[in-house]
Amino acid sequence: MDPAGGCPHADNARLLAAGTAVTPVVLPGGVAGMAVLGHDALREFLAHPDVAKGAEHFTALREGEIPDGWPLKTFATVQGMTTADDADHRRLRSLVSKAFTARRVEELRPRIETVTQQLLDALAEAAARTDGVADGAGAGDGVADGDGVADGAGVADLRAHFALPLPMGVICELLGVEAEHHDRLHRLSNQIVATDIGPEEAMAANREMVAVLSAVAAGRMENPGEDLTSALIAAREEDGDRLSPQELLGTLMLMIIAGHETTLNLITNAVRALCGHRDQLELVLAGKASWADAVEETLRWDSPVSYFPFRYPTRDLELAGAVIPKGTPVLAGYSAAGRDTAAHGPDAARFDVTRAARGAGARHLSLGHGPHYCLGAPLARMEATIALERLFTRFPELDLAVPESELPRHASFVGNSVHRLPVRLGSAS
């Protein structure tokens, strides 16, 4: 695996075309692993009774072969839902799930709509501040020099001004995290999911994240409110073995990272896809497909998570003609499964917002499958749907300010998106 990340689709297509649904991979530091790429194989693997998430099943880690500072170690060792199995997983998930019922998520709709409107105003203001800024003259607002900002272009970084603060603001509001921590938590989240990070930097990011979340938890202990952190603390205090301090911090870390990074990438990738396929955007604007259709097709076509760590077979496991040895760290290849022609048809590489409505191909797996299916899926879908509808309704001419090929990719093979998204808003409707 390339620690620098990059676009995964060409390599995925090459492997899938060769019939490789399961492949050996070399993880950073020369650690041997495997990845499941095919849709059917991944669906089976994610729900397999002989596949676990607990780090005690990671042979190399258990035998002391994984050093501190390994860039993927947090994925294996953080204590929370993503590394729990069976009864422990059900216990932790039940504590959090009350905040993500269909009713509770729907109650968030007015707040999400209000925040979206405020962010669109801020995006327009950011673009206005670059209006008349010459190429290379320092456009600011997240648009780096050399991004080709022309006089009167009105360019702004949609990722920084819109796609990031929406989900970050919503998840932090749910958790009771003060606004003063938002930027810091996003920076730390980026470092924790990076796969090209050095050992010292990785360990420092984890220590700082724990320190920030410990301060958040301490604040909620002193002044509990109507937020999820307060509810988790109350549950722990009612029954001391329900949620340990480490599990509380691990759960908060999971909620912060997964609660905004995935939706941030989803919104960013959807805007890129619709700008790059204007015919599909026109179908949605004309009411021939829904914004929810655009969200689902983006999830399939350009999954916000590319290869997610880790699961471990608890015995030697045969899958799609390959054997995954017991205790091997396995990546779930969501970006590959989404374009698997065996599941989605010969045009799987084509972005088509009418696909789901036509019943074409299998349902995507980009939000997971089985016991660890993404708890925040309804919230992510709602945020992305509202964001896209309001964005393109207000700015129907919105387009990328630089060619897709020039957009800098995330330095990670876990997250799948670009680092910046400079756009021209065009005329508002």
Residue spans of beta strands (DSSP E) within 28-87: 31-36, 51-52
- Residue 141 confidence class, pLDDT cut points 50, 70, 90: very low
For the sheet containing 422-424, what is the strand order?
Answer: 155-157, 422-424, 399-400
What confidence tens digit (pLDDT) does each residue in 221-256 have? Answer: 999 988 888 888 887 655 555 678 888 898 899 989
Count CB atoms within 10 A of the CB of residue 338.
29
Concatenating the DSSP letter of every residue in 256-323 gives HHHHHHHHHHHHHHHHHHHHH-HHHHHHHHTTSS-HHHHHHHHHHHT-SBSEEEEEEESS-EEETTEE
Q: Residue 147's pLDDT is what?
A: 42
Token pair of 116, please? 């979206």
| Alpha-carbon gap, residue 408 to 402, rounded angstroms | 11
Question: Higher pLDDT residue, 118 or 102?
Answer: 118
Q: What is the pLDDT of residue 239?
A: 58
User: From CA 149, how far away is CA 228, in angstroms rounded?
Assistant: 42
Q: Is the pLDDT of residue 336 over 70?
A: yes
How high is the mean pLDDT of the chain? 90
Residue 176, pLDDT above cutoff 60: yes
Q: What is the pLDDT of residues 187-225, one digit of tens each?
A: 999 888 888 888 899 899 999 999 999 999 999 999 998
Distance CA 410, CA 333 (A): 17
Q: Where are the alpha helices (DSSP H) in 131-244?
A: 158, 165-175, 182-193, 199-222, 228-238
Q: Quick one: pLDDT band at residue 119, thresholds 50, 70, 90?
A: very high
Q: What is the pLDDT of residue 426?
A: 86
For the four alpha carbons of 3, 66, 92 and 222, in that order, the dihedral sign comes to negative
Question: Lowest-pLDDT range, 101-115, 274-288, 323-337, 350-364?
Answer: 350-364
pLDDT of residue 133: 44
Amino acid 53: pLDDT:
97
- Does residue 143 surpass a pLDDT of 70? no
Query: Quick check: 142 pLDDT over 50?
Result: no
Determine the pLDDT at residue 131: 67
| Percent of the chain scoring above 90 in pLDDT | 71
- Residue 86, both tokens: 């069976």
Q: Is the dihedral of CA 75, 79, 80, 83 positive or negative?
A: positive
Nearest-angstrom CA–CA distance, 387 and 57? 40
Closest CA to 243 of 7, 371, 79: 79
Q: Average pLDDT in the 156-177 region? A: 94
Average pLDDT, stretch 405-417?
93
State the pLDDT at residue 100: 83
Residue 91, pLDDT score: 87
Taking only the tens place, the pLDDT of each residue in 374-404 is: 999 999 999 999 999 999 999 999 999 999 9
pLDDT of residue 140: 39
**Of 181, 184, 173, 163, nearest in space to 116 by CA:** 163
Burial class (CB in 10 A: 0-12, 13-18, 19+), 19: exposed
Instruction: State yes or no: pLDDT of 276 exceeds 50.
Output: yes
Long-range contacts of 343-348 (CB under 8 A, 24+ apart): 343/38, 343/39, 343/40, 344/39, 344/300
- Is the distance from CB of 140 to CB of 130 less than 8 angstroms? yes
pLDDT at res. 46: 98
Q: What is the pLDDT of residue 135?
A: 38
11-63 pLDDT per residue, tens: 999 999 999 999 999 999 999 999 999 999 999 999 999 999 999 999 999 99
Alpha carbon separation from 271 to 35, 165, 166, 261 (Å, rounded): 28, 16, 14, 16
Tell me if 205 sits within 8 A of 192, measured CB to CB: yes
Q: What confidence category does residue 137 fall into, taking pLDDT thresholds of 50, 70 and 90?
A: very low
3-state secondary structure of 424: strand
Determine the pLDDT at residue 9. Answer: 96
Q: Say what the pLDDT of residue 193 is.
A: 85
Question: What is the per-residue pLDDT across 82-110, written as a single tens digit (0 to 9) for each?
Answer: 999 999 999 889 888 877 888 888 999 99
Please say whether the beta carbons of 302 and 269 come within 8 A. Answer: yes
Residue 149 pLDDT grade (very low, low, confident, very high; cuts 50, 70, 90): very low
